[in-house]
Each structure stands twice: as C-alpha cells, then as structure tokens.
A = this chain, B = another copy of it.
Amino acid sequence: MESGNVAWILVSAALVLFMTPGLAFFYGGMDRSRNVLNMLMMNFYCVLVVPIVWVVIGYSLAQVPFDNGFIGGFDAVMLKGIGLDDNGGSLATIAYLGMFAAITPALISGAVADRMKFSAWAIFVPVWSLIVYVPVFKWVFGGWLGQRGSLDFAGGTAIHVNAGIAALAAVLVLGKRRGWPQEGHPPHSMPLVMIGTGILWFGWFGFNAGSALAANGQAVQAFMNTFLAAAAGGLAWVLVEWKRDGHPTNLGAASGIVAGLVAITPAAGYVSGASPIWIGLLAGVICSYTVRAKVRFGFDDSLDVVGVHFAGGLVGSLLIGFFANPAFFGGEFREGLFYGGSLRLLGEQALANGVAIVWSFGLTYAIMVVLKRTMGVRVDPEVEANGLDLELHGETAYHGGGLH
C-alpha cells in the first residue's frame, strides 16, 4: 500500500478514536451536572474494553474468512497471522475498524443516561459488541446483505441504525427516568456540548472519508459529502426550530450537524454533486421531528439516540436508493432512482436495514432482560435522585470555591 494511503488510514483511525471523547462531551454537556461523569465514563469505558475485545476475537469473527457470508471465524484470533507486509495496510485497516467497534456501543449510552447501573453497562458493552455488532457488521460489509447489493459506505446500517434501534430496546427494558417526562433537564453545559460537536464533526471526516481505505477520489468525494451534509443538516434543523419554536439554538445546530453526519455516513462514497446537501437537509428536518417521538410514544430515550441516530441513519441509508451515482465514481454498484436505477437498490437498502433492525432490537432486548434478571440494570431510586456521579463513581464533576 502506498505511504499516502497508509498515512490517510492512520489519520482517519486517530480521528475516529477522538470521536468517542467527542461523543462523551456532546452527551455529557446535555446531561445534568450530577450525572455528567457517569455519562463520560460510559463512553470512555467503550474505548477501554472494546479495543481488547476487537483484536482478541471481534475482528476475526467479523471478517475472517472473508468469503463467509454470515460470520467469520477464529483464524485471526489475537491478530494471528497479521503481519506488516503490504506496508502495514491490513493491520492499519484492523486498527481503523476497531475504532468503529468502540464508538458504536458508546452511541447507545445517550439513551440509557441517568439510571443504568454501571456494572450492567460494563457487561453490556462487550456482550453487545460480540453478539449484535459483529454479525451485523459482517453481513453488511462483505457478508450476505452486502453481497446482495445493499450499500453502506461507512456504517449507516451497521452502526447508526444498529445502535439506534438497540437504544430503543435498551430503554424499553430499563424504563423511564424518575420524573420523566414531566420534569425537564436542560443541558448543564452547552459549551461542553459544542466542544463535543466540534470534535465529532472533525473526527467524522476520518469516519467517512477514511472508509475509502485510500487517499483517492472516492475519499475526497466522501469528504466533501461529509462537509456539505453536516452543514445542510445543521442549517435545516436551525431553520425549522427558528420557525417552529421561535429561536435558533446551539443545541439545534449541534443536533442538526450530527443528524446530517449520521445520514451521510452510509451514502458518503456513493453520492455526489448536490446530493449531500439534499440528504443533509432532509435529515435535519426529519430528525428535528423524530426526536419528539419519544414523548408521544412514551419511551425515555434520554438524549435522543433513537431520534437522531436511528432515524438519521435510516433516512440516509434509504436515500442511497435515490441518490446513488455509480457513474461518477466509476464504481460497480447499482444506480439510485434519480440516476436511472430501478427500485431494486432501494429494496436492498430496506432489506438490509430491516434485518439489522430485527436482529439488533431482538438481541439487545434479550441481553437487557438477562442482565435485568441477573444483576439488575437499574440503579436504586435514591441513587438516581442523588446523582450517579457520586453514587456510582465516587466523584463530583465540579468542585468550586472554598467549600471543600
């Protein structure tokens, strides 16, 4: 592999690693000051445990042998047989994919905020990674769903839809926060939210453009798409809420940026021209409404993982059925409806997401129920009232003045 490609994959991997702290700040800022450290810890924990799980067994199960459509095997356990030939190209890819494995369960943490036992989370993350993330990843990237022709460039189905629907299953088992939805909890630190947003967008260039696994034209287009869809998503959300709620807000901008980024993720290497703008705009508008579903349907998805990641990921994934443009890329994938294609691609997208949704929802629900029956998943009401930071982690986020 050329040094330029190796450099690009390594940079992209570092960028995706940086996204998990970014996500932690994005979520943590939205949380109350007595639970922010629990939120940070749930996220940081993912980058502690998943990397180990990934290289010990996850990668092997997710990929090797490559021609197996359903699940890999044990051939590459603990990186067995992975050398540095090809200038380190394959090892770089494994590291890069490990970053994705780490951030995916972290996405779910926003939904279960403020009430989940950390001990349960500590078990949930590696288990979920192995029995939910790994198979869906396999099926979508190189496995049977991918082989049928569904497209997912950087993880719309495998990551956002997957984690988003898992978040729904998790909160259905976990139950609502004390006082929700009557009591509101505005973000305790909007600057922290915006720090997270900045890091997320920055890192997402690695997430999407890195998924070309080379510094080539497709990477460049994915980069441009990531730039435009995020901007369009943020703009759309801000305009909707300005009209609807009377104010253009920072949280709206941040949420719209993330919605646009989520939606372009599956499509980034397949669409071109003005398409990312349309995808971003649609995602921004739609997600600014889907975040309201939780109140209507009564599931307490604390920080809107379902409304943003599930909805945004699904929107983006289905829009590939309209906007995919193989001619532009000189690629061998199906055309979208707007580029002369048939309904076939849209059908494949629907199928792939449908399978991911069923698998992820069902198994996540099952994992949560087992955890609930064994160790319990929910903190005591008093712990919830006093705040998880102090009760579970023995820490307090801010200590000021002379009072300590």
Please report A residues at the B interface, Cβ cutoff 8 Å.
Answer: 2-8, 10-11, 13-15, 17-18, 20-22, 24-25, 28, 32-33, 36-37, 40-41, 44-45, 47-52, 55-56, 78-79, 83-85, 87-89, 91-92, 94-95, 98-99, 118, 122, 185-192, 194-195, 197-199, 201-202, 205-206, 209, 214-221, 223-224, 227-228, 231-232, 234-235, 238, 245-251, 253-254, 256-257, 273-274, 277, 328-330, 392-401, 404
Contacts and interface: CB of A to CB of B under 8 A. Distances in A.
Nearest to A95: B224
Given A231-B48, A328-B83, A221 B2 contact: no
Contacts of A122: 248
Top 7 A-B residue pairs of the complex, sorted by shortest distance between their CB atoms: A3-B4, A21-B198, A88-B220, A84-B217, A4-B4, A88-B217, A247-B394
A268 B339 CA distance: 44
Contact of A194 (B44, B91, B189): B44
Nearest to A94: B224
Contacts of A4: 2-7, 215
A45 B253 contact: yes
B7 A397 contact: no
Given A44-B257, A190-B395, 17 more contacts: A4-B6, A6-B220, A10-B209, A17-B205, A21-B202, A36-B190, A44-B253, A55-B277, A78-B273, A83-B328, A84-B220, A88-B218, A88-B221, A122-B248, A188-B400, A247-B392, A249-B394
A252 B330 CA distance: 50
A329 B18 CA distance: 28
A216 B87 contact: yes
14 contacts: A3-B3, A7-B8, A14-B206, A21-B202, A44-B254, A48-B253, A51-B231, A78-B274, A84-B328, A88-B218, A95-B224, A247-B392, A249-B395, A251-B395
